[in-house]
């Protein structure tokens, strides 16, 4: 099944906020509502971008953790998450107990040599699969690679996303979204 192109559009409320920008990326079909399908198409795109098979343990883990994250975000179980629901739900505690695991599993998919880091190509492929334009991913890589070693460490990646979601300073988040 061909996957839809991801075209992030601003959420209807507070379009310049970090939460709105992330929500727009979650709404992969751009219809204003993030659906279960929208959420899982991102995992499928990451699987395809990394060349992994459906039975790869890392793909299974990403889907399992994605299911947990989606269940937490879609509390009423209707398969849809409005911007208002997402904005009311996401915070530092939810990132620490839910989001970081799902995002970490996607990082692990892209970490083809399993060394806990992503090079520029791996990072860009992952972020493009998740809905960021390639140019934004390049700028985000530059912002995050503070030691200029050409590698992004898993903990740095997750900390930068957490900072962006919670309203702290995140040069990577600003560049990425």
pLDDT in tens, 72-98: 999 889 999 999 999 889 999 999 999
Is residue 161 a part of any domain in this protein? Answer: yes
Give the closest residue to 9 by CA, choosing from 18, 21, 17: 21
Q: Residue 157: inside a domain, yes or no?
A: yes
Domain that holds residue 29: 18-176
CATH number of the domain that 31 lies in?
Answer: 1.10.238.10
From the list 42, 45, 35, 95, the residue with the least C-alpha distance to 69 is 95
Going by C-alpha positions, the residue among 4, 102, 79 that lies closest to residue 48 is 4
Query: To which H or E segment does residue 66 belong?
Result: helix 57-73
33 in a structural domain:
yes
Q: Is residue 13 part of a domain?
A: no
Count of structural domains, the chain: 1
Residue 118 located in a structural domain: yes
Averaged over 17-31, what is the pLDDT? 88
Query: 85 in a domain, yes or no?
Result: yes
pLDDT value of position 166: 86
Quote the pTM value: 0.86
Residue 10 lies in a domain: no
Residue 3 lies in a domain: no
CA 57 to chain centre: 19
Specify which of 46-60, 76-90, 119-133, 162-176 reaches the highest per-range mean pLDDT: 46-60
């Amino acid at each position: 099944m061909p996957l839809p192109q991801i075209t992030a559009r601003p959420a209807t409320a507070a379009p310049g906020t970090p939460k709105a920008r992330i929500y727009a990326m979650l709404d992969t079909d751009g219809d204003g509502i993030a659906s279960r399908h929208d959420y899982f198409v991102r995992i499928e795109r990451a699987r395809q971008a990394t060349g992994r098979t459906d039975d790869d343990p890392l793909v299974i883990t990403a889907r399992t953790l994605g299911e947990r994250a989606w269940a937490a975000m879609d509390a009423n179980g209707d398969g849809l998450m409005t911007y208002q629901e997402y904005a009311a739900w996401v915070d530092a505690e939810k990132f620490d107990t839910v989001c970081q695991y799902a995002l970490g599993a996607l990082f692990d998919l892209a970490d083809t040599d399993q060394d806990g880091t992503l090079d520029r190509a791996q990072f860009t492929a992952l972020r493009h699969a998740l809905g960021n334009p390639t140019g934004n991913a390049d700028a985000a890589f530059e912002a995050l690679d503070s030691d200029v070693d050409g590698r992004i460490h898993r903990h740095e990646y997750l900390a930068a996303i957490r900072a962006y979601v919670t309203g702290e300073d995140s040069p990577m988040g600003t560049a990425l979204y």
